[in-house]
């Protein structure tokens, strides 16, 4: 849980105070991207997910606006930023595809950053993007693994933030499973039923 708590932004420049951040997919990683953006002082944190209970938790942990529909989120960002668009789009969906990727690219403005933590489809890993807007808007796309963190430094820092109440962890656990329920836990993960399922070996 700690390893995915850091805002998964660029090592060169994470989300900064006053920025507009859009998070696609509010699961175990996405909810912590929301928390990270809040800790960084983002002005607008827009969470997009089809599952309502995940958006409800996102609102509790820092999202300023939530949407079940990506098109509605895009329209809101256009209007609320007067056409400037988002500074950062973070893709933490279960499986990355061309639709989500293009949504993330198109919602970012000049010098916007698109951060990917999601893997593509195993049988169709290629995603086509329009080259012109990437060049004209100077957008950047970066893959990030484990929040782009240095575990020796960042995990103790995140634990300090947890003890200070700046980030939440206990609230992320939606169900606990016994070891013999591991298959059920994986199925619930695939079905989007949990924010964070935890396997407890009680023996």
Domain boundaries, the chain: 2-148, 173-203
Q: Which residue has the higher pLDDT, 125 or 97?
A: 97
Are the C-beta atoms of 85 and 108 separated by less than 8 Å?
yes
pLDDT of residue 183: 94
pLDDT of residue 2: 62
CA angle 187, 49, 32 (to 5 degrees): 85
Other Cβ atoms within 10 Å of 1 Cβ, number: 14
Class of domain 2-148: alpha beta
pLDDT tens for each residue of 31-66: 999 999 999 999 999 999 999 999 999 999 999 999
Q: Can you list the pairs that 155-158 forms with residues at least 24 positions away whose Cβ atoms lie under 8 Å?
A: 155/2, 155/3, 158/2, 158/5, 158/6
Are the C-beta atoms of 62 and 5 separated by less than 8 Å?
no
The string of DSSP letters for 16-61 reads -TT-EEEEE--STTHHHHHHHHHHHT-SEEEEE-S-HHHHHHHHHT
Q: Are strands 44-48 and 20-24 parallel, antiparallel or unpaired?
A: parallel
pLDDT tens for each residue of 19-34: 999 999 999 899 999 9
137 alpha carbon, distance to own chain's centre: 22
Tracing tokens 């989120």 back to the chain, one arrives at 73
Q: Which two tokens stand for residue 50?
A: 């089809």
pLDDT classification of 4: cutoffs 50, 70, 90? low
pTM: 0.88
Please determine, for residue 8, whether its predicted confidence score (pLDDT) is greater than 70: no
């Amino acid at each position: 849980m700690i390893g995915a708590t850091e805002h998964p932004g660029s090592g060169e420049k994470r989300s900064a105070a006053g920025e507009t951040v859009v998070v696609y997919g509010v699961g175990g990683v996405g909810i912590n991207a929301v928390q990270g953006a809040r800790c960084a002082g983002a002005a607008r944190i827009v969470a997009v997910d089809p599952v309502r209970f995940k958006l409800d938790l996102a609102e509790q942990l820092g999202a300023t606006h939530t949407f079940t529909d990506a098109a509605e989120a895009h329209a809101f960002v256009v209007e609320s930023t007067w056409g400037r668009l988002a500074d950062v789009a973070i893709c933490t969906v279960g499986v990355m595809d061309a639709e989500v990727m293009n949504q993330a690219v198109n919602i970012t403005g000049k010098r916007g950053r698109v951060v990917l933590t999601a893997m593509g489809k195993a049988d169709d890993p290629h995603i086509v993007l329009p080259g012109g807007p990437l060049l004209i808007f100077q957008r950047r796309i970066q893959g990030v693994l484990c929040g782009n963190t240095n575990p020796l430094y960042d995990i103790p820092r995140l634990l300090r933030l947890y003890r200070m109440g700046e980030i939440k962890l206990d609230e992320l656990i939606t169900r606990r499973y016994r070891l013999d329920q591991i298959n059920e836990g994986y199925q619930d993960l695939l079905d989007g039923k949990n924010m964070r399922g935890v396997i407890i070996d009680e023996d």
